[in-house]
Every structure is written in C-alpha cells, then in structure tokens.
Structure 1
C-alpha cells in the first residue's frame, strides 16, 4: 500500500507524495516568487527523500511565460541530476504552442496527456481513479 502525504508549499501549490512520486498540480497563473520557491522545495524534497519521479500536472494552466517554461526545464534537469525523472502531464494545446513560440524545447522533459498516463512512464504502480464524467481510455 502506498502512503500519500501533502507537502505545504507557499503559494498554495498542491504537492502530493505518492510513495516515491511527487504529484505537483499547478492551477492558474503562478507568481514568479511562488514558482521559484516551488522549484527549490521540489529539489530539496527529491534530494532528502526517496523520490524517483515528479509529475507536474499543467491541466489547470491556461498560459505560460518564458519564466515558467524555464522553471519546468530547471526542475527536469535538477531531478535528473538527483536520479529522478520528471513528466509534465495535461498540457493544453495553447500552452504547448506558447512554449514552441518562445523557443523553449525543454530537453529531458517527458510529457503525457494525463496524470494517469504519466505514472507508468515513471515506473509507478500507483493507481489513479478516472475523473468523474470522463470515461477510461482503452489501451490496445
């Protein structure tokens, strides 16, 4: 059985620990100071704990700027150096287009359509229940 605990991050960014995975759920716009604090906190948590992966759920984010793109890239690079992986899940098409237009390639950052799709990319066996009103997608 996997234990889940929530870490209190300044700026009210929900971060849930599911075993060796951190699930970071971004909702709306983040202030630069909050994004910077989140980056530091994720780095400290990954280095101090047995964290093997980080999932950053962007499904609640409408737009990103160059600073947020850099934060995502930095988190991916930092976790990779600390022997963990980062997967960004739930990116909206407008967010992807903005990142491309800004010239941010985000090397080393893996993506998934949903959080449920991200967990297997990290080798996690944690089960995520489907959202209400949304059917499960069948895999071939």
Structure 2
C-alpha cells in the first residue's frame, strides 16, 4: 500500500509530496497527518508540493480540509513549493484554501512559524552545530 512519509522535526511535521496523487492516497494522507498531529502534538505542518505538476479540485479541497483539521488541533498548515501552473489552476478553479498558509519554501514557512511563536527559535548552539 502506497503511503507518503511524514517526518517529525521538532514541533513540525514535514510532508514532501513527490508523486501525482490519486484520491485514496490524498484521503490516507489526511488521516495520517491528523493522527500524527494528535500523537506528536505538532504545532506546524508543512506540505511541500513542489513535486506536483497539477492539482485537481479534489486535491485542492483536501489541502483546505487538512488545514482546517490541523487548525482545530492547534497546528498551522503551510503549503510550500507550489508550481506556477498549480497556483494558476487553484485560482482558476476558485478553490477555497481557507486556513492554508503559503510560503515559497520550507525555510520561509519555518521562519513564519517561529515569528508567530508557534515553534521555538533555533538556539545559537544548534545553529552552529557541525561548524
């Protein structure tokens, strides 16, 4: 059975979608994300969709649904890495993405979560680890 991996990084869940998604995979992902938010008490979910060349109306609605569900569970959802064609499709279809925050990339999403106080800032020791 196909599954999209969800990585826990501190108070974040990182989901990198690198393949075209069918409806069942989207539904499974929604369930997996909400379960992980519950069990890990994550404060942020970052969905990297840079691997998606297209988004249909079902997938677009599900992004909004994931954001709404995680918001109820006290986590902010960001969609990052959106291809221009995907952004155009979402706007042309008039898909409501209420509750979905967007950022250009993972780093920008993390910066915004830190600025909002949702996740802790990296300490100087962690920032220079491995230098």
Q: 1:74 aligns with which of 61, 65, 74?
A: 65
Q: Distance in 2 between matches of 1:11 and 1:122?
A: 30
Quote the offset at 1:11 in angstroms. Answer: 2.0
Q: Report SS of the residue matched to 2:49.
A: strand
Instruction: Considering fraction of residues, name the structure with more strand.
Output: 1
Q: 2:35 aligns with which of 34, 40, 44?
A: 44
Q: What is the match of residue 56 of structure 2?
A: 65
Q: Which runs of 5+ in 1 are unaligned?
A: 1-9, 128-140
Q: What is the match of residue 134 of structure 1?
A: none
Q: Distance in 1 between matches of 2:11 and 2:107?
A: 16
**Equivalent residue pairs, number:** 118
Q: Distance in 2 between matches of 1:85 and 1:35?
A: 19
Quote the offset at 1:14 in angstroms. Answer: 2.5
Point out which structure has higher relative CO (alpha carbons under 8 A, 6+ apart).
Answer: 2
Q: 2:15 aligns with which of 20, 24, 42?
A: 24
Q: Distance in 1 between matches of 2:35 and 2:16?
A: 18
Quote the offset at 1:108 in angstroms. Answer: 1.4
What TM-score does the superposition give when structure 1 sets the normalisation length? 0.79
Q: What is the match of residue 102 of structure 1?
A: 93
Provide runs of 4+ in structure 1 moved above 6 Å: none
Q: 2:103 aligns with which of 112, 116, 122?
A: 112
Q: What is the match of residue 2 of structure 2?
A: 11
What TM-score does the superposition give when structure 2 sets the normalisation length? 0.84
Quote the offset at 1:99 in angstroms. Answer: 0.5
* Post-superposition CA distance 1:21-53 (Å, at most 9, x none): 000001121111111001011111112222100
